[in-house]
Amino acid sequence: MRAIFIGILLCPGAVLSQETAETRELVGTVGSRSALLVLHSVQRADAGWRVTGEYLLFPALQRRFLEGERSPELGITTLKEGTTAILFGHDPTGELRGTWRGGVFKGTRYGPGGQERERFEFSEAFASMEGYSAAVRCQADDARYSSTLNFSVELGNVRSFDWRSSVQPAGHSCQLSALQQQPLQGGLRLASGTCSVTLRDIGEGVKVAAEGCSQQCGSQAYLEPVLVDRRGNCRLLRPEAR
């Protein structure tokens, strides 16, 4: 799986051309647990929004899929929750009810029987990394994928960065090293041409993710997002097998 968060919106082509679609990443908490949330929204003709997405609960990386609606003005949002990407025909695990406006999504999570479980709050505003300093040298892998990440940051200034991965049995690889730091509010950004890497503080550590970097990779290679914990250890940012 080349990316943790993939939203597939199935709509007729004629409708898509008239709709506004957007994807937002938010960080926050569900009860006492920190979480990372990605929501994909498509605006309907009545100005309301159709919303799909998913979130990961830390530290176990439990994955929950979401589907529902958001009102156009007040931002009242209701999202059914389940363990599969297609919720129809499957028992829900809960429901998120709240408001999503001004970059903040907050409310209450209810159980499948409608009982109140816990409060949640997410924000599109990630923490500043202007004061972030770290020297990281770590590796994360599984049976066929291996990733090595080395970087040095001093007070928000990236001094060095090298990220490599390889995929077996083909042996295809990626390598990112000649990237220049660019301004980014709520994180650090490195880029070269269309290839960019972002580092964001997501509470449990720093998420490192690449985008548009296929030219730096072999035909079967890719760069999975990595979570760097507070001790400098790397972990592939993917749900645990259940």
pLDDT confidence band for 239 (50 / 70 / 90) = low
Confidence class of residue 18 from pLDDT cuts 50, 70 and 90? low
Question: Would you place residue 88 in the very low, low, confident or very high pLDDT band (cuts 50, 70, 90)?
Answer: confident
Mean of the per-residue pLDDT values of the chain: 90
Query: By residue range, what is the domain housing residue 229?
Result: 134-236
Contacts of 11 (CB under 8 A, 6+ apart): 19, 42
Residues 21 and 53 in one domain: yes
The CATH number assigned to the domain holding 104 equals: 2.40.128
Residue 1's pLDDT is: 42
Number of domains in the chain: 2
Q: Check whether residue 71 and residue 106 sit in a common domain.
A: yes
pLDDT tens by residue, 222-232? 999 999 999 99
State the alpha helices, DSSP H only, in the chain. 13-16
Backbone phi, psi, residue 130, to 5°: -65, -30
- Mean pLDDT over 172-184 rounds to 95
Is residue 49 domain-resident? Answer: yes
Name the band, by pLDDT with cuts 50, 70 and 90, for residue 109: very high
